[in-house]
Amino acid sequence: MDLAAILEELKRSPDTFGPFIRTQAEAIPDRVAFKFEDESITYGAYDVAVNRLAGVLTREGVRRGTPVAILSPNGPLFVIALGAVAKLGAIGALVNTHVTGAGLTHVLRASGARVGVCTADALPALEAVAGSHPVHFLTGLPDAGSAAEPDIPDVRGGDVFLYIYTSGTTGYPKPAIVRHLRFTMGGVTLAQQLGVEAGETIYAPLPLYHGESLFVGLAPAFRVGGAFASRRRFSASAFLDDVRRHEAVAFVYVGELCRYLLRQPPTPRDRDHRLRVAAGAGLRPDVWTAFQARFGIPRIVEMYGATEGNVALQNAEGRVGSVGKPHPLLEDNVRLARFDLARGELSRGPDGRCVTCASDEPGELLGRVVAGGAGMEYDGYTDRDASARKLVHDAFAPGDAWFRSGDLLRRDADGWYYFVDRIGDTFRWKGENVSTQEVADVLNRAPGVSETNVYGVALPGEDGRAGMAAVVLADGASFDAAAFHAHAVRELPAYARPAFVRLVPEMDVTGTLKQRKIALADEGYDVARVGDPVFVRDDAGRTYVPLTPAVLAEIRSGRRRL
């Protein structure tokens, strides 16, 4: 059976998470399903707790297709609520626990929910926005009541299961539509890909409101009758202790997690674990080899995907730095299109069509939208207008439609894809395109540097934006301005060398460890607003010098050119 036939069968299949909870509970009631720090929940106990909450939600009017807001850190309430909405055929709106104020009001309104479940520690944030949204929250889990199986509706793989919110880097987060088949496929295919077997544990220490932990961690662990382990908040210092305590054989990473683990002081027990594989997205090339060597993890499976999109890439062969390839049957439905950064739009050729990139030429990653075909359907967001804005039409043929990822990637001659940058992050300087991520990868290898975040800042009288780097130094290191300058000159073209360096004590990141750039770019190099040390490039002196008010005045007046 080919992929398209498998996916079509899954759309019609009643094999969804809700009834599968009961199946596992009847088969392996005493086996541990979830581990949260010092708590554990067996499959049997999980089924009982899910049924009790489902009964409460039913009395609150929740039915098939009803959105239910879930506001909880990783823990029993989150997974039990997830199971309850699955059994009822409802839709779980997974709310980022870091969102507060107007942002929280927006995501609750956008969910369409009238009922929600939350932990007690969410109450202060909810009280602060009381009356601004229509959601009535139930706090905590019922510890009594009927554990009878609810009336499970005829839910199929093609039905909507979750709303997962985008990161909100451009405006408020938007709820992306996720269907049951995606969760089921994550369990079936990734359990095989990761080689996880019944009774084994997958550890995913990052938020379950994010798709990576759900689809790469929880789904495959539950599917094979294993255990999913996590904690309320990621802790680099507790990582190996957790992995050992839970006897995890696989773990899920996102973003800069592996870099933060490398920052921990080496110990003789770094390889004292049972991990066989790490899987996730966002492992940077400058960290990959060092991380794998230090902790002795045999396999790394890097992936690429967008929650709201239809493109998935996977690197199961461990090619360092690559985000992988599409499924062989989907290769023709994935394409890189030339992007004009100066104009901020896809390039079009003389025939009015988009231009396919040559090997190693960066371009925007597109996924062809095929209604009902081979996994390239596009659901987008609950907001239909927002969904439509993510599509480009008549791209390569009359009447076609392609999902726009908003990411620049390149593809080598062997068909491997590599992440370059977010389109909104790449900027132009001296008539050249500067990839913030590629520059950061280079600067991360500079002497004494642990992590960098690169962004563009405006300069008076100059077109484009000059580069600026927020730098976190390695423990015990001081900023060697001359060595940093020499490294930049040696490794980067002149236009890509940062004009400014800001030393920050730690990087500002999201709950899923993605670097935030907007506030840094807004503050720029204004020493009146920035409390951290700021340096400016001094090519004549082959170094970076402190940015004083006098030097800043020279830059603003045009007397000092960069």
- Chunked into runs of 10 residues, the chain (562 residues) has average pLDDT values of 68 94 98 96 98 97 97 97 98 94 93 97 96 96 89 93 78 88 92 96 94 95 98 94 97 90 94 97 91 96 90 94 92 94 90 96 94 67 91 96 95 96 88 89 95 93 90 95 96 94 92 85 90 95 95 86 84
Q: Which CATH number is 425-557 given?
A: 3.30.300.30
pLDDT at 374: 47
**Interaxial angle between packed helices 180-194 and 3-12, expressed in degrees from 0 to 180 and rounded to the nearest 10:** 130
321 burial (CB, 10 Å; 0-12 / 13-18 / 19+) is middle
Yes or no: say if 89 and 100 are a contact pair by the CB < 8 Å rule: no
Q: How far apart are CA 61 and CA 89, in angstroms?
A: 13
Distances (CA, A) of 511 to 36, 74, 474: 18, 12, 22
The 3-state DSSP class for residue 362 equals coil
In one-letter notation, the amino acid at residue 72 is S
Name the superfamily (CATH) of residues 3-307: ANL, N-terminal domain (3.40.50.12780)
pLDDT at 321: 94
Residues 6+ apart with CB under 8 A from 335: 356, 365, 366, 368, 396, 402
Query: Nearest to residue 406, comparing CAs of 394, 389, 393, 429?
Result: 389
Q: How far apart are CA 213 and CA 187, in angstroms?
A: 12
Phi, psi of 48 (to 5 degrees): -65, -45
pLDDT at 309: 87
Q: Which tokens sit at 220?
A: 């495959």
The 3-state DSSP class for residue 66 equals coil
Q: What's the whole-model pTM score? A: 0.87
Phi, psi of 12 (to 5 degrees): -90, -10
Break the chain into its structural domains and give their ranges.
Answer: 3-307, 425-557
- The DSSP symbol for 30 reads T
pLDDT one-digit tens code per residue, 53-106:
999 999 999 999 999 999 999 999 999 999 999 999 999 999 999 888 988 999
Residues 6+ apart with CB under 8 A from 358: none
Phi, psi of 33 (to 5 degrees): -100, -35
With residue 418 as reference, give the H or E element that holds it: strand 417-422
